[in-house]
Structure 1
């Protein structure tokens, strides 16, 4: 029973697989991979194809190499129909050609080494991984040490981006999980005599690489080499591997893997056990920028054939395995008869041969026409959808053009507002600096005049606010001092200026006391005058005879006599002063009165 549809189930990619893909560099290019969500059957987005985690770790990476594109076309296969070991076969072959033979992947050489067979068991023909690439039984090729089976690989499917090629024929066909795998004549196609002659030197070189003593090359060495240099053989590249430039090579998908991770990966895709040693290098030196191709080296180029106005003969269907008429799979290795031998046997019956050929081509054309009709219907749907999107885009474009002037004006106004705001901020900052400078200057002037400096108990941390706080403290101190000074000067004013009215302002009041004359001397002289005149009045009141001429001659009185007279008159002087309203000084003055 063939179970193409029932083999698909929900993808189960683990976090370990995700981390491995990230280490290998698949997250480097955005949207190169997409992972399914809840779907149990693949439904890839446009320009994506279905592949597997085990394909990627064996050298596959989008965009896909043109040689693999050609193989899929010639063999009439989809990417999901190849097993992981088949993918590794192609990776090793491309690495062998580019790194050790110094040629592009060669189609003629490929046909000399490989053929295809169906993959199935117990009467079940698989669709996922339903085709196996195997080495022909009569060819001595590298022992790749494939694992007998890759466990659970069909459950780890995902989508890889398929970048369209300039040549439409090389584009991989869109995913179709229901398409049956049909065995084709191209699966067993052998190289022609001309192709064998052209590739004989390459086959000789392969035998030398296998058998040169001390420099034997193996399949596991080739596998370890392309995993180590981090260039995916099955990725479309601008440069072949023989130009590999080391750590700085532009084709590298990631940096070097840690030795432990590299060894674990090699053991995973091969059947090496823990006792087997993982090769750290190739015994045969690969071509690269440090080991360039010899001068005059001939670089052969041979890609799988493309259709010219229709399908190539190699893609003609031989049988449908599901109809029970296919050849035994056990003979694919080399015992099956090739297409060339079949034609030789039919030389005796040219008419039958021609009839079979036309019938085969008719079947191929019919299948091809059916596929073209499906693709045309799909293209028409896409064209209608694109037309609707174009109409919407045109409407949006017209609306955008209508609003363009308003948007431009708004943008201009926004720019003007930004510029004005910037200028305002600049002016504000300059003004703030100026204010701060003046406040600091005023604070220094106050300190110099009052010899008092203050500190804030809890500063705000803002220079302007702190300076204002200090200035307020200085201002309060100054105001209090001025108020006290005004009160004091107002009290003194009547004594110094008896006949003047007190000024209304403190400044005018203070100016009265800044006269160049000695106001204290004048006050003392007035006091002496009052004292002398009062004394003379008291003496006259006592009706005593006084020789006023002698009294005025104070120069004849000695100092000691002057002091004794004052001392004797002290008790009486207190009474006189009390009568006049004056309070006597605490200590008697021994100085002479000032006379001007």
Structure 2
């Protein structure tokens, strides 16, 4: 039966009617000082900038070169660069790291440690399918995104009882950023974080081993059964956990050497020195369901493979045979080496293609980052355009209000100017016509007002000139005012200015007459001069008439040219 091909085709999980929480699950990180101390003891934070802790963000935004992880993932064997087998699982299942629960991470760590340290083989997909499968994690009403997938042991698999807790409390809140590292191989990279990516059930979640894969892994399953049931040398899941925690080698990290070449305290893949016994036991109880009453094994009953305990040669031959079966060459055992060489050549070709594919993937990721940046810029520009639209609308509304107010003001001004024009016409009885009207009510009213104003200014100038010429005669002892209003007020007193001038002139005339009479050297009784009660009016007029012939001489003497009109004979004194 030919092996089934694994594709990236996905189908919705029809068994889950609950909706994904999506980004609503994320909240501000709550990594405690106790968590920081534990990571420091495990050697995870010893490298410079190996871990970056979030500040105030409530949704992960990893810096360039970092990926999102959890404290509970790191203490269960996760570290960067990640193991190729873990990356392969994420690819086949279509998952990201935050989709897996802490118990699922621990299952993968135990499996890799079992394969490398106790079976002496690299972890492989065929053996994995015989033991594990994936299922969706959630409740009837809620389907989680963080920890939304659980890796479970098949009921038919004869596998270790790991004694995992039913659930890990609060692990979703303890997230942080880990630096993405690699050993020059793109396969060590962690897929880019996407917190909004939906979990879709894939056919690979329930994929079972083919008949060929079952045949090729039967010896490994037998060895797993022996490890569990050899009297006096029973191996348990807790012992496997203690082994990789005690050795300080993270199973889920891409390492320079597999665990069957582990060299001890000087191993290049160790992250820290040995943990103290109390710290080791406390950590084992933290990640399992063991309580303080349960004892923690200090070592394994089965001696694991290492540099000091090398793989036996028969096992190596079996591995070569199993490797040949995996790539489909099983006809002739004598041609194994040739077949393996061909497989290696094919693997090199696939590696080259994979490298090219990885370059394309990196370019696609770079293009995706650029596209996101352009999209963010477009959103920002759109927000700016929307803001400009709002501001423009506000400005247009304000301008409309201003235009309406200006129109109302101009109308009020026009009415006032028209009223002023009418008042001027009513006062002066003069009405003007514009030669070339602009048909603009405001401009025409202003033009009329200018015409009226020009005529009024011209009249005021002429009146001021006339009053200025008269001022010295009426007010010889005063200084002429600077303004026309004050000048006009001088000519509008309560008394009669003309009568006052005539009185002044008559006084001068009387004084001059008295002076002439005195100069004639006649004897005059001056006590009788001016006694008008003794003079009759008829006598007065006859005397005036008799004096007229000499009037011209007297006026000429005092420098006044008489007019041709007859003088008034009206008595004023």
- TM-score of the pair, normalised by structure 2: 0.53
2:28 is aligned with 1:10: yes
Separation in structure 1 between the aligned mates of residue 265 and residue 365 of structure 2, nearest angstrom: 47
Q: Is the contact between residue 82 and residue 189 of structure 2 (CA under 8 Å) also seen in structure 1?
A: no
Indicate if the aligned counterparts of 1:165 and 1:171 stay in contact, CA closer than 8 A. Answer: no
1:60 to 74, 78, 95: 78
Q: Determine the structure 2 residue equivalent to 1:42.
A: 60
Matching of residues 547-562 of structure 1 within 5 Å: none
Pick one of 100, 121, 128 that aligns with 1:110: 128
Match of 1:177 among 192, 195, 198: 195
Q: For 1:450-489, list aligned pairs within 5 A.
A: none
Query: Contact 1:73–1:172 at 8 Å: present in 2 too?
Result: no
2:367 to 360, 369, 376: 376
The 3 A distance-change label for structure 1 pair 383 and 296 is farther
Paired with 1:243 and 1:370, the residues of 2 have a C-alpha distance of: 33
Q: Kindly tell me: are residues 179 and 141 of structure 1, through their superposed partners in 2, closer, same or farther at Cα, counting changes over 3 Å?
A: same
Structure 1 residue aligned with 2:486: none
Q: Secondary structure at the match of 1:17?
A: helix
One of 154, 157, 174 as aligned partner of 1:139 = 157
Match for residue 20 of structure 1? 38
In structure 1, distance between residues paired with 2:374 and 2:313 = 52
CA shift in 2, pair 1:371/1:103, >3 Å: closer
Q: 1:65 to 1:382 in 2, by over 3 A?
A: farther
Partner of 2:310: 292
Kept after mapping to 1: 8 A contact 2:135/2:152? yes
Q: Distance in 2 between matches of 1:284 and 1:7?
A: 43
Cα shift readout 1:195-218 (whole Å, capped 9, x = no counterpart): 111111000000000111111111
Counterpart position of 2:118: 100
- Classify 1:213/1:59 alpha carbon distance in 2 versus 1 (closer, same or farther; 3 Å): same
Distance 1:123 1:49 in 2: 30
How many aligned positions are there?
320
More displaced, 193-202 or 79-88? 193-202
**RMSD of aligned Cα (Å):** 2.7
Superposition deviation, residue 297 in structure 1: 2.8
CA contact (8 A) 1:70 1:170 kept: no
Give structure 1 stretches of 5+ with no counterpart: 306-368, 385-596
Shift of 1:378: 2.1
Task: Give 2:267's aligned residue.
Answer: 249
Deviation at 1:250, TM superposition (A): 1.2
- The separation in 2 between residues aligned to 1:51 and 1:9, in whole angstroms, is 14
State the shift of 1:379 in Å.
4.1
Q: Distance in 2 between matches of 1:33 and 1:98?
A: 28
TM-score normalized with structure 1 length: 0.51
Which residue of the partner structure matches residue 207 of structure 2? 189
**Helix, strand or coil: the match of 2:217?**
helix
Whether contact under 8 Å (1:102, 1:293) holds in the other structure is: yes
Structure 2 partner of 1:504: none
In structure 2, C-alpha distance between the alignment counterparts of 1:100 and 1:370, rounded to whole Å: 36
SS at match of 1:173: coil
Q: Do the aligned residues in 1 keep the contact of 2:81 with 2:189 (CA within 8 Å)? A: no
Q: 1:166 to 1:183 in 2, by over 3 A?
A: farther
Residue 64 of structure 1 and its aligned partner are, at CA, apart by: 0.8
1:276 to 1:185, Cα distance in 2 relative to 1, 3 A = same
Alignment-derived partner of residue 255 in structure 2: 237
Matches within 5 A, 1:48-87: 48-87=66-105
Structure 2 contact 20–142 (Cα < 8 Å) conserved: yes
Q: Which position in structure 2 is the counterpart of 1:278?
A: 296
Q: Give the deviation of 1:173 after TM superposition.
A: 2.2
- Mark the runs of 5 or more structure 2 residues left unpaired by the alignment: 1-18, 327-359, 376-573
Q: Do the aligned residues in 1 keep the contact of 2:20 with 2:198 (CA within 8 Å)?
A: no
CA distance in 2, matches of 1:370, 1:70: 15
